[in-house]
Structure 1
Amino acid sequence: MTILVTGATGNIGRKVVDQLLARGATDVRALTNNPGKAALPAGVEVAEGYLGRLDSLPPAFAGVDRMYLAPAPGNVSEVLALAREAGVRHVVDLSGEPESWWGSVCTAVEGSGLAWTHLWPADFMENTLMWAPQIRETGSVREPRPESASAPIAMIDIAAVAATALLSDGHLGRAYSLGGPEVLSRTALVGHLATALGRDITFIESSRDETIEALRSAMGDRAIWYVDNVLTDFDPDPESLPITSVADITGRPATTFAEWATDNAALFTAD
C-alpha cells in the first residue's frame, strides 16, 4: 500500500512523512519540487513534482492507494481527477469548513468520488512566529483583540492525525475539527512566550492598521489578509472550541502551547 504525501517538504507535509515512518509505514512516497534539496529520510521514495504542475502528477500517483493532500485550492479538482484516474482510493486533506477560505478543497474532495477524511485545524501554534520580529525589536506584541481566544494546535499534532487517518480505514468519511489541548487568549499566548524566552513581553492593544504595520516585517503584504481573515475568526466563545480531538484520534496527548514555546524559543531570538 503506497501512501503519497504531497507538499512533502512543506511545514506540515514533512512532518506527515516523519509521523508515517514513526508508525511503521514502509511504502511512503514524497512529492517534492526539488528532490536534491528535500533531505527526506532513507527509505522514502521521492517523486519530483508539485500540485501546481499537473503534468508532473501522473507518475507520482501511479500505484498510490492513499494520499495526504496539501491545500491546493487553485486546481484541486484537476488534481483529484488525476488521482482518481490513477487509482488512488483515499484522500486525507488539510482544508477547512465549506464556508472557510480553504473550504473549496474539502468540497472538491467530497465531489471527487474518492473516499475522504477532512482535517480542519484551528490556529497553528507556529503562527505566533509572526510576532518574533516585534518581540526582538520592541519587547511587545500588537494586536486588536487581546482577549479573543482559540485552541491553537502544533503542526506536529496535525501531522500525527493525518498519519493515523492514512493508516486506517476507520476514519473514512470523517471531518475532524482539530484543536490544541487548551483554549488560550492572545494575552495568554504572549505570557507563555515570555516565560519560555525568560523576558518581559508587553501586549499592546492596537488598531487594524497598527497591527498590519507591526506584522509587515514578518509577513509582508500577507499581513493584511491575516488581520482581516484570521484574527477576526477567533471564537469569542471558547467553550465551543474542540480541545480533545488530537488525543481522541491518536491516543496521545496533544502538545501544549507552553511546551511548544519552550521547544521553539530560539526561533524568537534568532534574526
Structure 2
Amino acid sequence: MILVTGATSNVGREVVGQLAAAGREVRAFTRDPDRVADIGPSVKTVTGDLAQPETLRAALAGVERVFALSGGGPEQPLHDANLAQAAAEAGVRHVVKMSVIGAEYGFGDLMSTWHLAGERAIRQVGLPWTFLRPGEFMSNARLWAATVKSQGVVYWPHGHVKVAVIDPRDIAALAVAALTSPGHEGKAYRISGPEALTVGERVGTLGAALGRALRHVEIPVSAARDAAARAGRQPLVVETALTNMGSDDYRVPYAQVLPVSRDVLGREPRTFAEWAADHIGLFR
C-alpha cells in the first residue's frame, strides 16, 4: 500500500492517478474528502490532517511507502516531522518527499528553509528517503487564465528571467518511479523542464496554442502575490518564490536544464508547448 499526502494538489493528484493506472494499491490522504470524490474508483481515501498526529495512525496502517507532500507555508516542517514520526512508528519502508530546488543549494529563503527542516525531520527518524527538488511548475500559468480570457494579457513580474519550468506530470512520474522501483533510496533529485523560458516566451507559446496574440505586462511582486492569494494560493509562498526570481543567486539554478528525467524515466520531460496544448481549455 502507498499513501499519498497532498492528494488534491497538482502533483499529488497525478501521483495518485499514475500509481492507480500502474495497478498499485493507493490510499489518498486529504483533509477534505469532497475534493477527492472524482479521484478514481480503485483509490482508497482517508481523511486526516498532517497537523494532527492522531489522524495519521489509521492513514498509515498497512502502508509500506509514502509520498509526502504538504501545502507549504510555515507549518511545513511540523507537517513533515509529524508524518515522519508516524511513518516510522507504523513501519513504513520508504518516504518520498516533495521538496523544492532551493533545498539543493541551501538557500536561506523561507520556502527553502521550511523544506530543509522537513527533509531533516525525515532523515532524523531513520527512514529510507528520496527527496524530489523541482523548480517552478508550468501549471503556475493557471494564474494567468482570467486575464488571458478577458484581456489577452498576462500580468506577471520578472518577465526577463529564464526558468526551466517543469510539468507537474513529470514530477509525479519521478515520484512514482521512486515509490515503485529500487535504487532511489538516499537520493535527492533536482528537477527541471527541458528548456529555460522567460515569461514572455511562455506567453508567446500560450498565444500560439490559442491562435491569438497575447501580451505580457510587468507588475510588482506584491501585485502578483495578491492575485495569487485571490486564486487560493498561499501569499507568503508565492511572494517568496517570486522574490527569489529577482536575485542573481537564484536565477542560475532555476534556469538550468537538468538530466534527471532522462536518467530516471528514460525520456525527455514535457515541453511548455505540450503543457499549454493539453490545458488550453483553461485559457479560452
**TM-score bucket (shorter structure):** 0.7 to 0.9
Deviation at 1:37, TM superposition (A): 5.2
Deviation at 1:253, TM superposition (A): 2.9
Deviation per residue, 1:89-128 (Å, 9 max, x gap): 2100001215414322212212221000000111011101
Matched-pair identity in %: 38
Aligned-partner residue type, residue 44 of structure 1: V
The equivalent residue for 1:7 is 6
The equivalent residue for 2:263 is 248
Alignment map for 1:1-271 (pairs within 5 Å): 2-25=1-24, 27-35=25-33, 38=36, 39-71=38-70, 72-96=76-100, 97=103, 98-99=106-107, 100=112, 101-209=114-222, 211-212=224-225, 217-218=230-231, 222=235, 225-226=237-238, 228-234=239-245, 235-237=250-252, 241-269=256-284
Is the alpha carbon distance of 1:208 and 1:47 closer, same or farther for their aligned partners in structure 2, counting shifts above 3 Å? closer
Deviation at 1:219, TM superposition (A): 5.4
Deviation at 1:254, TM superposition (A): 1.5
Is the alpha carbon distance of 1:16 and 1:205 closer, same or farther for their aligned partners in structure 2, counting shifts above 3 Å? same
Is the alpha carbon distance of 1:143 and 1:19 closer, same or farther for their aligned partners in structure 2, counting shifts above 3 Å? same
The equivalent residue for 2:73 is none
Deviates more, 1:30-39 or 1:57-66: 30-39
Report SS of the residue matched to 1:51. Answer: coil
Aligned length: 265
Deviation at 1:42, TM superposition (A): 2.9
Deviation per residue, 1:191-240 (Å, 9 max, x gap): 11111122211122334455556656545772x652x4212333433796
Unaligned residue ranges in structure 1 (runs of 5+): none
Aligned-partner residue type, residue 96 of structure 2: V
After superposition, the CA RMSD in angstroms is: 2.4
User: 1-side partners of 2:254 and 2:120: how far apart?
Assistant: 27
Is the alpha carbon distance of 1:139 and 1:16 closer, same or farther for their aligned partners in structure 2, counting shifts above 3 Å? same
Structure with more strand by fraction: 1
Report SS of the residue matched to 2:77. Answer: coil
**TM-score (norm. length: structure 1):** 0.87
Deviation at 1:160, TM superposition (A): 0.6
Is the alpha carbon distance of 1:76 and 1:213 closer, same or farther for their aligned partners in structure 2, counting shifts above 3 Å? closer
Report SS of the residue matched to 2:251. Answer: coil
Q: 2:68·2:80 contact (CA, 8 Å) conserved in 1? A: no
Q: 1:120·1:175 contact (CA, 8 Å) conserved in 2? A: yes
Deviation at 1:49, TM superposition (A): 2.0
Unaligned residue ranges in structure 2 (runs of 5+): 71-75
